[in-house]
Amino acid sequence: MHHCMLFSRCYIDVILLTKAGALYMDDQFFHARNANAIDNTQATKLGNIPEHIAIIMDGNGRWAKQKGLPRVAGHREGMKVINKIVAKASEVGVRYLTLYAFSTENWKRPKSEVEFLMKLPDRFLSKELPKLKKNNVQVRTMGEKSLLPAHTQKAVQKAVRETADNTGVVLNLALNYGSRHELVYAMKEIGKDIEKGKLAAKDIDEKLIASNLLCSDLPEPDLLIRTSGEQRLSNFMLWQLAYSEFWFTEVLWPDFTEHDLLQAIQTFQQRKRRYGGV
Ligand code: FPP
């Protein structure tokens, strides 16, 4: 009896293995069974890499608090994560990476924290710009830059200028960005054209609105990632995320790794996007 059970268990295993071999013809199946084994090979083999990933980098403050450090230490650590995520995204074939670095609502934070956050682009770019250039990364920004301190604007402009001809992954930094602000701006632009008689109300359609948004030349994000367990959009790309897949993780942004990125991509690859169809 015991032998028989053992035999039948083995037999089922053999069938499963044979099936797996036939279906996958490689070691992908074994990787898929072990989340820790996610690697580039698997991500790229599955195909369907998201072209554009948007990330809400949340949880810096909590990360610092857990360690008994001031909130700004979390932002500093969070900044350090960006490089490796850009590198990994680029490696697996992501074309655009939009990072929410500062929102139009973040001005409400204590002055010292805002000042610190405003120093991060300078810090990041003064250290990393040579590497970004070498890796063919194109830096772009999205948001109302006129309200940023002069030193922040200068650092960002320099990076944008010096990487404009790069053809690799686009690193789009959302700085003083708010989606409602962006939509108001777009409506005003359209309104101006109506006042001038260039347009009529009946001409307003989705394409026209989309073309008046910031970074209208970028495709809409395929995948949105938000870290730290919060599940909301916080005024981020409301129009552009209409059909994006969302992936949330409890991991705090300073702890976010390449492995987490690959896990998000792998989940995306298993989703069926229907865009309202069947
Ligand atoms: C949200 O965490 C994070 C931010 C408001 C800032 C994100 C900025 C960076 C990660 C660095 C930006 C760097 C460059 C180069 C632009 P939180 O402070 O709201 O965290 P909490 O919810 O735990 O308080």
Residue 277 lies in a domain: no
pLDDT in tens, 241-263: 999 999 999 999 999 999 999 99
Q: What is the pLDDT of residues 211-236, one digit of tens each?
A: 999 999 999 999 999 999 999 999 99
Give me the residues paired with residue 184 across strands.
none
Q: Give the domain CATH number at 257.
A: 3.40.1180.10
Q: For residues 228 and 252, what is the distance between their CA atoms, to the nearest angstrom?
A: 4
**Atom of ligand 1 minimally distant from the CA of 81:** 10
* Count of the separate structural domains present in the chain: 1
Which amino acid appears at position 113 of this protein? E
pLDDT digit string (tens) for 87-135? 999 999 999 999 999 999 999 999 999 999 999 999 999 999 999 999 9
Residue 32 counted as domain residue: yes
Q: Which atom of ligand 1 is nearest to the CA of 230?
A: 22
pTM above the 0.95 mark? Answer: no
62 pocket-lining for ligand 1 (C-beta < 6 Å): yes
Domain that holds residue 125: 16-269
Structural domain includes residue 214: yes
In a domain, 1, yes or no: no
Binding site membership of 50 for ligand 1 (Cβ less than 6 Å)? no
Distance CA 128, CA 115 (A): 20
Q: Residue ranges for the binding site for Mg(2+)?
A: 58, 245
Query: For ligand 1, is residue 143 a contact (CB within 6 Å)?
Result: no
Residue whose CA is at the smallest distance from ligand 1 atom 6: 101
Tell me if 169 sits within 8 A of 99, measured CB to CB: no
Q: Is residue 274 part of a domain?
A: no
